[in-house]
Amino acid sequence: MTFLTTLPTRRQKPATRAEAGLLLGVVALLALAVFGPVLPAGEHQHGFADQRALWGIPCALDVLSNLPFAIAGVWGLWALRRLAPGALDHTSRVLAALFFAGLLCTAVGSSVYHWQPLDAGLLWDRLGMVLPFAGLLGLAAASRVSERAGWAMAGAVLLSGPLAVLWWAHTGNVLPWAVVQLGGMLVVLALACLPRRDGALAVHLGAVIGLYAVAKLFEAADHAVFDATYRWVSGHSVKHVLAAGAAWPVLMALAALRNSAERGVPQVTLSGQNGAHAVGVARRSRA
């Protein structure tokens, strides 16, 4: 008994202000998803503008425009593999891997859905999107708040995302999924206003949000873009390319980290809020 009382106990650090604020935001979004009004799916949600077939592929451009997701996913996983073991903290490495692997799942799920746009395919499309959302929100929270906040955010999305998709499939209520998708982006936007933690992966969250927002605008203007381009390309096809482009800031952050590690130059955290970063010059010690 005396031995047990002398063992050191591991105490959890109390929650910081940023962690408490993040928790309150997540609780507010959860309340909206559960108690908010029913949001039915649009009557023409499967009525995409570009129905043309190419090389035997139905809705060809909407299917093939998912290729950038797969390219970004493979590129990101390859970039992570090339990083030295100590160049990136374990939390960021795992969350980045989840993000890039999720992009591969998104490419597959979205291609399956657009091959034959029906509710059954849309279910797999949305389930695939949960993974990159979880990775991105986890990375954002880890870089701006704390590592445990990153784990918590990723876990929250991995739990709530599939539940929201299954709830939509069972009831037709899209609100919970809209909260996961758009509410999650609002969380990233709020986190982009916070300074980056020392040593965290320098992802420009403002650029991620900007690209994703423009992608959603093109999605909403699917038919208008198709008509404006004389039926050359639809807004939804452009949306896929722009949404995949939201992975670019993460890829660039990994590239900068690898370059600085190869040169033996430590990364310096600047005071910029949206993830602006630079590589500092190592100070030479005087003899």
Domain assignments of the chain as residue spans, ordered by start: 58-264
Question: What predicted TM-score, i.e. pTM, was given to this entire model?
Answer: 0.86
Between strands 267-268 and 278-279, the pairing is antiparallel
Angle at 222 between CA 219 and CA 228, to 5 degrees: 130
CA distance 106 to 6: 51
What is the structure's pLDDT at 42? 79
Reduced to 3 states (helix: H, G, I; strand: E, B; else coil), residue 232 is coil
Class of domain 58-264: mainly alpha
Tally of residues, the chain: 287
Under 8 Å between Cβ of 115 and 130? no
For 148, what's the count of Cα atoms within 13 Å in the CB-facing half-sphere? 9
For 34, what's the count of Cα atoms within 13 Å in the CB-facing half-sphere? 7
Using one digit for the tens of pLDDT, what is the confidence trace for 240-261?
999 999 999 999 999 998 887 6
- What is the average pLDDT score of the chain? 87
What is the structure's pLDDT at 51? 92
CA distance 93 to 150: 11
Q: What is the dihedral of CA 55, 60, 65, 68, to 10 degrees?
A: -40
Average pLDDT across each block of 10 residues of the chain; the chain has 287 residues. List them in order: 43 80 94 94 86 93 97 97 89 96 97 94 96 97 95 97 96 95 94 90 94 95 96 96 96 90 54 41 35
Please report where in the chains the tokens 């105490």 appear, as a residue: 11
Question: What is the number of other CB atoms lying within 10 angstroms of the CB of residue 84?
Answer: 10
What is the structure's pLDDT at 268? 42
